[in-house]
Structure 1
Amino acid sequence: MSAFNAIGDEREIDRDEFTPGLEPQPTWCPGCGDFGVLKALKQALPEVGLTPEEVLTVTGIGCSGKLNSYLDTYGFHTIHGRSLPVARAAKLANDGLTVVAAGGDGDGYGIGGNHFMHTARENHDMTYIVFNNEVFGLTKGQTSPTSPKGHTSKTTPHGNAKSPIRPLSLALTSGATYIARTAAVNPNQAKEIIKEAIEHDGFAHIDFLTQCPTWNKDARQYVPYVDVQESDDYDFDIHDRKEAQEMMFETENALYEGTVLTGRYFVDERPSYQQQKKELGEMPEEPLAERYFDDDAEWERSYDLLERHK
């Protein structure tokens, strides 16, 4: 019997199935934006017809890393900045799994920035949610890659001398094929964006604004927010790279000027890495993971696939 035989089964799914029995109540600080991510994800997964057995949640280190402790799916808690390579390997081993990777802004845009860039470039079929609270939360409030210039903390007591990273622009430049920003204060939009990201075939990046009331008290709570799709003040084509780039640049500038813009910014139908590997004949249709449960499976070794060097 395979551990993956539930994949593809159609049945009614209740969102409560995604609440674990051992640790159902998150221990995040009261008012933390991470609650908003968890709620939106729990609402989105059953609405796209997924069961807990069909989902793998891979997280990094930090407050956001507790996500898969509070979400009853397959889970893997990686070391700092390494959620994406583990998620990529899992998706390649079992393409039937829906893979959701998550990490904080320090985890994803700092220590794991290299993995972020290349996972987007290769367009791996997964959803990547970055909890962006503009600070390192779990390690007690150090300045992070998204902290604004002038931000004071124990690591920058005289003010941050560096300009913050531009997450949306970085995702676009790197090659992500679905890019969006939402906020914990907008749960309905967050749920819909997560649903779209999961259903998207390719690398979907969500910059999720999550307020930190404990270690970033000076930061705005990301309200009021403006949905760029619903506002008459913004009109751009999310399928046009140039228009999306200009809108992202405006959005990233506006955040530090007191205007919170959220919504969908870019969608592209470029084939995913998994699709391309299958077309090249380098990725089997049957999940490699299934071979562990098949005594008759023929195992291939790399030295059998490559010609001997002469």
Structure 2
Amino acid sequence: MSAFSAIGDPEEAEEDEFTPGIEPQPTWCPGCGDFAVNNALKKAMANLGKNPDEVLLCTGIGCSGKLNSYFESYGFHTIHGRSLPVARAAKLANPGVEVVAAGGDGDGYGIGGNHFMHTARENHDMTYIVFNNEIFGLTKGQTSPTSPKGHKSKTQPSGSAKDPVRPLSLSLASGASYVARTAAVNPNQAAEIIAEAVEHDGFAHVDFLTQCPTWNKDARQYVPYTDVQDSEDYDFDVTNRQEAGEMMYEVESKLYEGEVLTGRFYKDDRPSYGQEKRSTGEMPEEPLAERYYDEDAEWERCAEQLIDKHT
């Protein structure tokens, strides 16, 4: 039986199954928030009853890109900002696999921003975890798209003159159907949110606040934090786009004022891109990936279809 057709009903799984034997111990700096992402992802997959053969993890460049070296599953280490197009192609070819893409704030909101916007707009069925530490860490401390205005760095020695990107608002405006924020200091919430994102049918964006004690010493450790779902001070409907947008704007504004708000902010159950394409007949019901294991399958080439239309 192929790995593709082995995907079935959820079963009991252990977190240790997602720890690779070759490089089990991450080499991130002590105190780095990236450890929390790895642990939360392992816990989420185990709680969902997944096993490593059912998961594909696509990463970009940067400290976050090392994630699939420390997480046992199928993996694809892409170039800077390009984890999403690879993840999209994999999910369209094999809808049965759980696809997770990961990247840093520079990777995801900077060089990969165009892919982020259109993957959200098209609502591809995948989870996108962005390690948001407000700095370029691997390249040693340059200002990133989420660095606060006035932040001093190697590239902005007099302080950044630019307002930071508002990732939650950008995600909602682009069309993401699940938007949440969590933090390394809240491991239980992080695992719960990632599990919800994986189960969501559509593009699920998780902005994961990860402190960088080495290259962003001025940044807060994202504590204390407030879970908006547990607080009586915040009351909004996560299925109402306008209310979600207003809440996100408040959350993003308060982060740079020293108040960290985390939680689920938006959820929409509209069909994913793959579901839309299969409903119109533009994509086959049978996963394309299965054809590699079917000797009798008839392959269709786009070039041949184009030639037939123009001859």
TM range (shorter): over 0.9
How has the CA–CA distance of structure 1 residues 9 and 230 changed in structure 2, closer, same or farther, with 3 Å as cutoff? Answer: closer
Query: Percent identity of the aligned residues?
Result: 77
Q: Is the 8 A contact 2:100 2:127 kept in 1?
A: yes
Deviation at residue 10 of structure 1 after TM alignment: 4.6
Within-5 A mapping of 1:296-307: 296-306=296-306, 307=308
Within-5 A mapping of 1:145-184: 145-184=145-184
2:275 alignment partner in structure 1: 275
Which residues of structure 2 form unaligned runs of 5+? none
Q: TM-score, normalised by structure 2?
A: 0.98
Within-5 A mapping of 1:195-214: 195-214=195-214
One-letter code aligned to 1:119: T
Q: Give SS of 2:309's match.
A: coil
CA distance in 2, matches of 1:298, 1:309: 22
Question: 1:285-307, CA deviations, whole angstroms, 9 ceiling, x for partnerless residues?
Answer: 22211211222111111144445
CA distance in 2, matches of 1:153, 1:6: 49
One-letter code aligned to 1:308: K
Q: Is the 8 A contact 2:182 2:208 kept in 1?
A: yes
1:308 alignment partner in structure 2: 309
The root-mean-square deviation of aligned C-alpha atoms, in Å, is 1.0
Deviation at residue 94 of structure 1 after TM alignment: 0.5
Within-5 A mapping of 1:5-20: 5-20=5-20
CA distance in 2, matches of 1:23, 1:211: 23
CA distance in 2, matches of 1:269, 1:52: 27
2:79 alignment partner in structure 1: 79
Tell me the number of residue pairs that the alignment of Structure 1 and Structure 2 aligns. 310
Pick which of 5-14 and 82-91 moved more.
5-14
Q: TM-score, normalised by structure 1?
A: 0.98
CA distance in 2, matches of 1:63, 1:152: 21
One-letter code aligned to 1:221: Q
Question: 1:251-301, CA deviations, whole angstroms, 9 ceiling, x for partnerless residues?
Answer: 000000000000000000111001001001111222211211222111111
CA distance in 1, matches of 2:261, 2:68: 28
One-letter code aligned to 2:19: T
1:287 alignment partner in structure 2: 287
CA distance in 2, matches of 1:262, 1:303: 48
Q: Give SS of 1:58's match.
A: strand
- Answering whether residue 221 of structure 2 is matched by residue 228 of structure 1, we say no
CA distance in 2, matches of 1:11, 1:134: 38
Structure 1 runs of 4+ with >6 Å offset: none
CA distance in 1, matches of 2:131, 2:11: 31
Deviation at residue 9 of structure 1 after TM alignment: 4.9
Pick which of 42-51 and 1-10 moved more.
1-10
Question: 1:12-55, CA deviations, whole angstroms, 9 ceiling, x for partnerless residues?
Answer: 21111000000000000000000000010000001112111000
Within-5 A mapping of 1:29-48: 29-48=29-48
Deviation at residue 4 of structure 1 after TM alignment: 1.6
Pick which of 43-52 and 258-267 moved more.
43-52
